[in-house]
Amino acid sequence: MAESLYYIESSRYWIQSSSLRRREFGPAPDWLGARVSSNASRRNVQSNKIMPLTSDQVRFFQHCGYLKLPERLSPDEVMGLREAILDGINHEMEPVVRDRTGRVVRISALWNRGDPFRAAMASTGLLNYLDPLLGPNIELILNRHNHATLRVAEEGSNYFHRDVIQWTRTILTVIFYLEETTVENGCTLIVPGTHFLPGMDVPDLGKDERIRRMGILEQSVPVPMPAGGMLAINSLLMHSAGENRTPGTRMSMTAGYHSVDELSRIPNPAHVLVRGERIYRGNDG
């Protein structure tokens, strides 16, 4: 369905498709409702489309390299994902990653596992937020992230990293929190602004002498998130899961997104189109 118009009415968020069928999308986020005095005030004049993120939020993401998305997964979605992840871990459903003791702590290839993973990773609500950051044509990446992790105290596999090497083809990472994360149970740590530092092929930033001399990782800040919260980061941003110092678990799921590469003639089999179309704008002639 080509979705062309988003608008707020009676605190509900509506989508109207080009076929003029209108569909309710859900309750309007508080911040959006508060800012919308009339439908026209949030309409992008050129596209006649109401943007789910303000230009200030988009600028914040570009400047700082991260944004807590203004909406959460519903408690039912969180519960469905938690059950599916625990099922995958308990039944050791491959592909999985184990910790040093052989325990399964991560399930991979979430997209291939179907719902509820597909529903969350390609939900209209999430893609509406990614649209102002990535544009209308969006692909989900199958060979970066696409996994869910259960972090416990003894796991100890956290390290500062970037998700890509160079800025020319960076990606957008979304971390979905399926349990509340706090400083105690190892919320995500980020180093704001580090997406502007030069590209480097360094898997574990804390072990790199140049990074250590810069003292840049000492500038990291914790980002506590509620259960169901979603954090978008520029994948060049230096980040790490924190250390879980509680007896409990800390479950999250991670996915990566690209805008469609308009210079690629061949569809990448590791990319799934989740919004818009595969465009090609190469000048071959």
Ligand X SMILES: O=C(O)CCC(=O)C(=O)O
Residues that bind ligand X (CB under 6 A): 145, 175, 188, 239, 241, 252, 254
CB-based contact 171:164 (threshold 8 Å): yes
Among candidate residues 270, 40, 50, the one with its CA nearest the CA of residue 145:
270
Question: How far are the Cα atoms of 11, 30, 109, 158, 177 from residue 233, in angstroms, in the given order?
Answer: 28, 22, 20, 17, 14
CB-based contact 176:119 (threshold 8 Å): no
Residue with tokens 């230009």: 55
| For ligand X, the closer CB: 50 or 237 | 237
CA 261, 267, 271, 276 dihedral sign is positive
All residues at 6 or more sequence positions from 60 whose CB lies less than 8 Å from its CB, including other chains: 67
Quote the least distance from Cβ 254 to ligand X, whole Å: 4
| For ligand X, the closer CB: 182 or 188 | 188
Quote the least distance from Cβ 252 to ligand X, whole Å: 4
| For ligand X, the closer CB: 234 or 254 | 254
Quote the least distance from Cβ 210 to ligand X, whole Å: 21
| For ligand X, the closer CB: 26 or 203 | 203
| For ligand X, the closer CB: 42 or 145 | 145
Quote the least distance from Cβ 239 to ligand X, whole Å: 6
Report the DSSP pairing between strands 221-223 and 230-234: unpaired
Residue 245, classified by CB atoms within 10 Å of its CB into exposed (0-12), middle (13-18) or buried (19+), is: exposed
| For ligand X, the closer CB: 240 or 259 | 240
Quote the least distance from Cβ 274 to ligand X, whole Å: 19
| For ligand X, the closer CB: 239 or 271 | 239
- Tokens at 261, concatenated: 């590469």
Among candidate residues 120, 121, 91, 93, the one with its CA nearest the CA of residue 107:
93
Report the DSSP pairing between strands 188-191 and 238-240: antiparallel
Quote the least distance from Cβ 95 to ligand X, whole Å: 15
| For ligand X, the closer CB: 145 or 195 | 145
Quote the least distance from Cβ 86 to ligand X, whole Å: 17
Give CA–CA dist 107/94, Å, rounded.
7
Quote the least distance from Cβ 120 to ligand X, whole Å: 15
